[in-house]
């Protein structure tokens, strides 16, 4: 089964960036936050309506951490597998 997660930046300041992430079938989007200095990612709001919401958070976090490693915080990103 293919997984496609859409990720969109919703807030940013000097120390952090917040991203909304969602998949088809979700009731509401989840939100994660990455600390720009430490690369630590926190779940602010879980994805609703999807049984494997933690797995979707982990994949979204990994994708944003990849961008952090390149020194950027994109407006949008996608996880596809």
User: What domains does the chain contain, in order, with CATH numbers?
Assistant: 4-80 (3.30.200)
pLDDT tens, the chain, 81 aa long: 678 999 999 999 999 999 999 988 888 899 999 999 999 999 999 998 877 778 899 999 999 999 999 999 999 999 998
CB atoms within 10 A of CB 30: 24
Compute CA distances 60 → 4, 31, whole Å: 10, 10
Q: Kindly write down the DSSP assignment for every residue of 43-72, as one continuous string.
A: EEE--BS-TTHHHHHHHHHHHHHHHHHTT-
Written as six digits, the tokens of 33 are 């936050």
């Amino acid at each position: 089964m293919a997984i496609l997660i859409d990720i969109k930046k919703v807030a940013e300041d000097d120390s952090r960036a917040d991203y909304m992430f969602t998949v088809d079938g979700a009731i509401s989007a989840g939100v994660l936050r990455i600390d720009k200095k430490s690369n630590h990612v926190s779940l602010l709001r879980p994805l609703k309506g999807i049984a494997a919401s933690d797995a979707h958070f982990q994949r979204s976090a990994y994708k944003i951490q990849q961008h952090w490693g390149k020194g950027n915080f994109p407006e949008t990103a996608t996880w596809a597998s």
